[in-house]
Each structure stands twice: as C-alpha cells, then as structure tokens.
Amino acid sequence: MEHTSTQAIVLAAGNANRFKTKKNKQLEPICGKPMVIYQLHMLNSLSIPTILVLGENKDETLKQTVQHYKIKDLSFATQKQQLGTGDAVASAKDQLTSNLVLILNGDMPLISADIIKTLYKKQKETSATIAFLSTNVIDPTGYGRVINDSGKIYIIEDKECTNEQKEISTINAGAYLVDGEFLKHELSHLLKSSLTGEYYITDIVNHASEQGKIVTTFNVPYDNVRGVNTLEELWAVEQIKRAEIIRHWMLNGVRFELAQSTHVDHDVTIKAGSYIGSGVHLKKGTTIGESCTIQAYSILENATLENNVIVDYHSVIQDSTLQANAHVGPFARLRNNAIIGEDAQIGNFVEVKNSTIGTKSKAKHLAYLGDATLGQNVNIGAGTITCNHDGANKHKTVIDSNAYIGSNNTLIAPLHIQEGAYTAAGSTINKDVPKDALAIGRAKQENKEDYATKLREKIKKNSDSSKNDKHSFVGATKSKNFEHNL
Ligand code: UD1
Ligand code: MG
C-alpha cells in the first residue's frame, strides 16, 4: 500500500460478557476460521504490521490459536485489566512507532481490504488527524452514535446518549486511522467514564474535534462492519460469510440444491459440475473434484474427493479420501484416513476407519472395516466386521484382490486372507486363509426330524396342567424338564 509508515492495533482483550459463554468470542469460528483471524489475514494482505491486544492470564488459548496461523509481522500487547477500548489501545502504546495507526475492534470480522484502502485514501485526501468508519443501521442500540455538530464530529457511546441522541442511526463502526503523534499524546490524557468506569477510544475523536483538528468519516455498508457482541450477531455475520462463499462456488459452476440450508467453510474447494444437496455441511479442509454429487444431509470434514464421486444421503466423512468414481452411502461413515479406491462402493450402515479399499471393491451393507487393507475387486458380505481391537492393541486385516468374504463374517485380526479366497457366510475367521481356498468357520448344522412337533405337544400339555393349578402364575409353570429339552 502507498502510505508512509503505518501499523495496526487489533483489540481482542474484551470480556465478551454479552456472549454469556465465558469463552473468548474471538475464538468463535466463522465458516471454520476463528473470528480474529479474518482481520489478521486482511491486514497481512495489505502488509500492515499489526499489534494484537490480548488480556493478561486469560487469553492464552487465543494466543496459541493465532500463533498456529503464522501471521506475518504480528506482535502482541497485554491489557492487564479490561478497562475499556481506550485502555486496550494504551497497552500497545510503547510499540507505536509509525506516522499513522489503524485501530480496529477485533469483533468486526467482515471488514474488507478495499474498505481499509479507501480509509487510507480518505485520510490522505483530507489530511485528517483521524479518519474513521461510520455506517447507518435501523437499530443502532449498543453502538456509539456519530454526531455532527455544526461540522464537528463526535462519538457518543450508547450508554452516555441522551434520548434524542439515541434516535441517531449513524454509528461508529470501530475502525480508526489516527495520526501517530496525536494518538500517543491522547492516550496519556484519556479520562474514565464516570458512568461505566471505562476508557473509551472514541474519546480521541471528540478531543480532536474540540481541538479543531480535521476529523473525516467514511460511511460504509453495515454488513461490512457489523459488530459481533452476542451469539445472535455471530449467527448473522456467519450467514453473510456463508452466503458469500456459496455465491462464489455457484459462480464457478457448482449447483446447490437448497443453498440456504447448506454450510461451506472458508477453505473448501469445489470443482465445476458438482452438485451439493440440501443440508450438506462441507467443513474445513474438504476438496471436491469435478462432477461429484453430495446428496442431502451428508457431512464432509477434511475429505478429499476426486472426480465423479457420489456421496449418497446422510453420510459422514472425516479425514478421508475418495478416489474417482467411488460411491458411498446412503448412511455411510468414513473416518480417520479411510481411502476408498476408484469405482469402489461403500453402502448403507458401513463404517470404514483407517482402511484402504482397493479399486472396484465393495462393502455394500452393514459392515465395519477398521485397520484393514483390501485389494481390488474384494467383496465384503453384509454384516461382516473386522475385530481389530483386542482390548489393548489394534491389529490389521489384509484381504487380497478378488477375495470374497461371505455375509456375517467375524474377521479376527491380525489376519491375512489371500488372493481369490472365499469365506463361508456366518464364519468366524481367526486363521490366515491361503490363496483360492474356501474357509468355513462355523458350527455344523444338525436337523432333528419331527422334534418341533414333539416340542409343541409338550408345551400344550404343560399349559393345560397349569390352568388347573389355582396357585399358578406366569412363569411358575416352567418345568425343569421343559428347560432341559430345549
Ligand atoms: C465499540 C465502540 C462503539 C462502536 C462499536 C462498534 C468504544 C468505547 N465503543 O463498542 O462506539 O459503535 O464498538 O462495534 O470503543 N476490548 C478490549 N479491551 C477492553 C474492552 C474491549 O480489548 O477492555 C476489545 C473487544 O475485545 C472488542 C473491541 O475491543 O474486540 C470492542 O469492544 P466492545 O466491548 O465490543 O465494544 P462495543 O460495545 O461493541
Ligand atoms: Mg463490539
């Protein structure tokens, strides 16, 4: 950017009392990114060195989260006590070295780089001591009102307004570009509000006007500068962000069945020709290839889909990869590095965990595949599970290409079923199966001729005699013989 020397201060040390969650509101994700990171990324895109103001002994998690994002040119300042926005800025005073200081409330995540650029331009054009953003809003409750008194600009906080001032709908957005020397001087002269006991940063605007200095306001759309003070405001801001993200993908060839019911996180990518059903959530780290179909109510988190993949209704996919033409669901659950190969099929009520399913392999009904590696063209029968956990350790199941696992198999790992082998339905398999062998691991069936007829007669006889027994009650007629016969 074209400006002499500049720094930004982002205020994030407030107590967020209106959230009522006892957590730092800056950590709340908006489309998968913590609120505070939006502004830090925006300032990075403009190459403005930034000081983030955090609270002492209360914002450690926030600091760690911010550090995780590896923001360039970022330093921290600590506000000892939450004595208001003026005090928060003062806590960064010793680090101020530039001609111009941009002060931003940390709870304004939708502010754009374009708006900030124009604020710099307005300040320069008007040689203002302070240039700040204002906006107009239907319900200004809670915001500082911007008052123009015969050309002099003042900001009066909501709690300090007269009834007449409360009617004013032009509000202070919470973004100020201030002459560095003026700011440093003013920070030493702020006075506490007698009403709230807080130091208001907005008082620097009032002091500048009183001293006859130039104060410039730049009015911007409310949606760009909405403050997030309550969970309702967080919801409203996320709605705007979400709509922006979905609109972007629509313009890039993605069809949304019912866009208003769909959630897409900020870092998701979707290629053209894909279809996203209603109620689908595409969360952090998900990438979707060309011409994929994600049917209604499926949730994908950190999922990688190659081209032409189908995720059928109500499936949940986390930290997993689906290769081209794979088909999963409805009601499939993939997690913890499940890799579904090309043309493979995972059907309803099948869970796949930390397993690789080879090309064209199928597990179409009611199965659990954990810590397994399947080759190509493997068929897993309905109701089959891998017993991968012995109570202490996990073990692997390896099933080579073209093996056919019958229905309702219990595969006790560690286990290796070799190429082309079959296992009989209902088997418990605990020994490796050689290539092309048939493994049968079940009790042999025995048929007792006419036994059912005899059993029925016995039941009838017992029930007749119990009717004649005055003291009988349900359950008391069971004879020892009868139990034995069963
Ligand atoms: C503030 C403005 C108000 C403006 C509104 C726009 C003041 C006094 N008021 O009110 O004119 O209309 O923003 O959204 O500035 N913070 C600290 N330390 C503190 C207090 C707050 O770091 O001791 C931080 C908060 O974390 C927040 C920001 O400063 O990110 C603004 O504080 P907040 O309490 O939300 O101020 P508002 O009441 O919204
Ligand atoms: Mg606020």
Using CA positions, which residue lies closest to atom 33 of ligand 1?
Answer: 14
The active-site residue out of 3, 41, 263, 365 is 365
- Sequence-distant (≥ 6) Cβ neighbours of residue 306 within 8 angstroms: 289, 321, 322, 323, 324, 326, 342
User: What string of DSSP letters covers 27-46?
Assistant: GSEETTEEHHHHHHHHHHHT
Is the Cβ atom of 201 under 6 angstroms away from ligand 1? yes
Q: Which residues are registered as beta bridge partners of 480?
A: none
Q: Average pLDDT by consecutive 10-residue portion of the chain (486 residues)?
A: 79 92 92 97 98 92 95 97 97 97 97 98 98 97 95 96 96 98 96 96 98 98 96 97 98 98 98 98 98 98 98 98 98 98 98 98 98 98 97 97 98 98 98 98 95 95 78 51 44
pLDDT number for residue 180 = 97
Q: Encode burial over 235-260: b for 16+ CB neighbours within 10 A, e otherwise.
A: eebbebbbeebbeebeeeebebeebe
Is the Cβ atom of 135 under 6 angstroms away from ligand 1? no
Is the Cβ atom of 24 under 6 angstroms away from ligand 1? no
Is the Cβ atom of 59 under 6 angstroms away from ligand 1? no
Ligand nearest to the CA of 171: 1
Does residue 99 sit in helix, strand or coil?
coil
Tokens of 62: 């926030």
User: What string of DSSP letters covers 273-321?
Assistant: T-EE-TT-EEETT-EE-TT-EE-TT-EEES-EE-TT-EE-TT-EEES-E
For ligand 1, the distance from its centroid to the CA atom of residue 452, given in whole angstroms, is 81
Pocket test for ligand 1, best of 105, 145, 161, 198 (most atoms within 8 A of CB): 105
pLDDT number for residue 467 = 75
Is the Cβ atom of 144 under 6 angstroms away from ligand 1? yes
Q: Which residues are registered as beta bridge partners of 288?
A: 270, 305
For ligand 1, the distance from its centroid to the CA atom of residue 113, given in whole angstroms, is 21
Would you call 419 exposed, middle or buried from its count of C-beta atoms within 10 A (0-12, 13-18, 19+)?
middle
Helix residue ranges, H only, 188-230: 203-210, 222-225
Is the Cβ atom of 361 under 6 angstroms away from ligand 1? no
pLDDT number for residue 2 = 46
Cα separation, 412 vs 432, whole angstroms? 10
Considering only CA atoms, which of 144, 152, 196, 192 is closest in space to residue 172?
144
Q: Residue holding tokens 């005699």?
A: 465
Using CA positions, which residue lies closest to atom 30 of ligand 1?
Answer: 106
Return phi, psi of residue 122, to 5°. -60, -40
Considering only CA atoms, which of 52, 54, 48, 55 is closest in space to residue 101?
48
For ligand 1, the distance from its centroid to the CA atom of residue 309, given in whole angstroms, is 47
The 10 Å Cβ neighbour count of residue 220 is: 20
Pocket test for ligand 1, best of 50, 85, 169 (most atoms within 8 A of CB): 85
Cα separation, 372 vs 386, whole angstroms? 8
For ligand 1, the distance from its centroid to the CA atom of residue 192, given in whole angstroms, is 15
The answer to pTM > 0.85 is yes
Considering only CA atoms, which of 223, 204, 215, 207 is closest in space to residue 103?
204
Would you call 466 exposed, middle or buried from its count of C-beta atoms within 10 A (0-12, 13-18, 19+)?
middle
CA 87 to ligand 1: nearest atom: 23
Is the Cβ atom of 109 under 6 angstroms away from ligand 1? no
Q: Encode burial over 177-208: b for 16+ CB neighbours within 10 A, e otherwise.
A: bbbbebbbebbeebeebeeeebbbbbbbbbbb
Cα separation, 460 vs 455, whole angstroms? 9
Ligand nearest to the CA of 190: 1
How crowded is the C-beta side of 242, counted as CA atoms within 13 Å?
Answer: 21
